[in-house]
């Protein structure tokens, strides 16, 4: 496992990805792709119907509470735009991952 993206890695490297880190991340990505390949092939051949999982995007709504709105406003006020955008992306990716049935 790589420590790329961890606080220890950021302190050690200043957040710069070097060649070795890139190779490690490519190796992890290739491993993930290979792990999914059998399901993808059987799906494409029509032998499996449950891949990829269906996600009802219309059913995903942002939280609409006083606390959620206050948190978003505070983050927008205090954080740079890239961090606000990263936070929003992280929230939605987490929601999507949680919505996919096992």
> pLDDT for 20-43, tens place per residue?
999 988 998 999 889 988 888 888
> Secondary structure of the chain: what % helix, strand, coil (to 5)?
65, 0, 35
User: What is the model's pTM?
Assistant: 0.51
Q: Is 13 helix (H, G, I), strand (E, B) or coil?
A: helix
What band does 71 get if pLDDT is binned at 50, 70 and 90?
very high
pLDDT reading at 61 higher than 90 = no
User: In the predicted model, is pLDDT for residue 69 greater than 70?
Assistant: yes
Cα torsion through 30, 33, 38, 41, rounded to 10: -120
Angle value at C-alpha 33, between 102 and 30, nearest 5 degrees: 140
Lowest mean pLDDT: which of 29-38, 44-53, 88-97? 44-53
Residue 34 is predicted with a pLDDT of: 92
Q: Is the pLDDT of residue 2 over 80?
A: no
């Amino acid at each position: 496992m790589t420590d790329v993206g961890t606080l220890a890695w950021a302190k050690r490297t200043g957040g710069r990805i070097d060649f070795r880190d890139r190779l490690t991340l490519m190796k992890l990505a290739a491993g993930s792709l290979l792990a999914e390949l059998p399901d993808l092939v059987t799906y494409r051949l029509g032998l499996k119907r449950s891949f990829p999982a269906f996600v009802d995007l219309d059913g995903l709504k942002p939280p609409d509470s006083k606390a959620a709105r206050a948190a978003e406003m505070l983050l927008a006020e205090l954080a740079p735009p890239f961090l606000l955008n990263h936070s929003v992306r992280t929230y939605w990716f987490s929601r999507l991952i949680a919505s996919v049935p096992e």
